[in-house]
Structure 1
Amino acid sequence: MASLYIKDRETAALAAELAAELGTTKTEAVRDALRRRIAEIAAPKSGSGQGLLERLDEWRKANPLPPPTGLKADKAFFDDLWGEI
């Protein structure tokens, strides 16, 4: 059996805090966190869970584009923005 020794104090404290919140051991808390993270990363690839397109769609709904201004964004428009007319 392989062991994992966490040398970083902050990481060890986070593992202890999560274990206390879950009412479990640090080993089980770390195992659960790692499994969840792996599943989160794998979800867009496997098609299970919420994929990238769904997350982008949610983001776009929460952050819509402003309404069109009717201005034509051509070379003259950009030249005017830069003061090159």
Structure 2
Amino acid sequence: MSGDYIILKVIRIIEQWTGDKYPLFEICEWKGKDIPSKKQIDELEFKKWTWDNGKQELKALAIFPDGKRDNPIKRLKVVAEGVRTVLDMES
């Protein structure tokens, strides 16, 4: 493990038919050891993936537990609320 943090912005909460809920994130173009301020997080650009053919697209990330004993919340920390997001997954 590098000890670096990444910034994920919650777009929405996915609710499955079982009642389980999981966050859907957009990934920011940032990685580092010191968590930025809310203002800096608000201004972060969204990470874009570039395919071999040069096409760029935006991606989102959902975090699901890896089995019943895994709890992803242990690896996540809320550092700012009400920040700007690029993707609108509510529609």
- Tell whether the structures are fold-level matches, with TM greater than 0.5: no
Bigger Rg, structure 1 or 2: 1
Instruction: Give the TM-score normalised by the residue count of structure 1.
Output: 0.17
Relative to its length, the structure with more helix (as a share) is 1
Relative to its length, the structure with more strand (as a share) is 2
Instruction: Give the TM-score normalised by the residue count of structure 2.
Output: 0.16
Q: Which has the higher contact order (CA 8 A, sep 6+)?
A: 2
